[in-house]
Amino acid sequence: MENSILTDVLLPLSLFIIMLGMGMSLVIDDFKNVVLFPKAVILGLVGQIIVLPLIAFTLVKLFNAPPMIAVGVMLIAACPGGSTSNLISHLAKGDTALSISLTAISSLITVISIPFLVGLSMVYFLAADQDIQLPVGKTIITLIVITLIPVSLGMLVRKKYPGFADKQETKVNVFSAAFLAFLVMAIIFQQTEVVKTGFATTGLVVLSLNVFAMISGFIIAIIFQLNARQSTTISIEVGIQNGTLAILVATTILHQPAIAIPAAIYSLTMFITGTLLIAWRRYQAN
């Protein structure tokens, strides 16, 4: 996926629209859940910000992943949840309010944590390649422009025009899923040989990451005695990441399509595991 209108214009613009839509599903009270339900929120954030990257690092070392793939896996682990995690949480009869709160808060935190974690990963895995560097300042500014600003604007729209915001939620969810599917297909089409040669190892790493992350989130929630709905949401928020954001960082900021491959495969994987979780939770409810 060479630099093109897709990576330089359509991808940032689409992510801006997706985050704007997510903002239109938020109200200030969502952030008050930190105070009202501190244990669930803190556990979710610990799972996303700390446990998930540790699992990712362990897996890329265990599978001896190639350097570019390893950085890509660490990148997807550094990303927050997205609108997909909110939707899956809702369909799986999780705690939707908790899911939205965790997505919103983690999106704020990852403006700093993505440059930090990905920067460390590049130094560790790509030490021999001095031509590939993460522009920290540009990364932070880009993340602010395509995450924090549209989310804030979306919240403002919801406050002033709640009826309009409610009507757009389904449209944005459909657009988000459709655009992510388009991105994945574009990467597979343009990087066919790289995907073919690395799919066995990469696929196993990202599948393991997705599964172990969801299981770890669930175990953490159970250990600290959260209820079934909260446990479901923690599992999803730790295991379902914003693949669109990871692809943007890889292709638009780093200009390294190979780093986007784990995010593309992960995006396919998380829909499969997410669907299985939804089916299991609905079976339990019957």
Task: Quote the pLDDT of residue 178.
Answer: 74
* 58 pLDDT tier (thresholds 50, 70, 90): very high
163 vs 72, 107, 154, 168, 169, CA distance in Å? 39, 25, 13, 9, 10
Task: Quote the pLDDT of residue 217.
Answer: 93
33-55 per-position pLDDT tens digit: 667 778 888 999 999 999 999 99
229-280 per-position pLDDT tens digit: 899 999 999 998 888 888 888 888 888 888 888 888 888 788 888 888 888 8
36 vs 42, 159, 251, CA distance in Å? 11, 21, 39
Listed residue (30, 80, 92) closest to 218, CA to CA: 92
Residue 282, pLDDT > 60, answer yes
Model pTM? 0.81
Rounded (to 5) percent helix, strand, coil in the chain: 85, 0, 15
Task: Quote the pLDDT of residue 196.
Answer: 65
Calculate the average pLDDT of the chain.
81
- Residue 81 sits at φ, ψ, to 5 deg, of -70, 175
Task: Quote the pLDDT of residue 195.
Answer: 61
Domain boundaries, the chain: 5-281
CATH topology for the 5-281 domain? Na+/H+ antiporter like fold (1.20.1530)
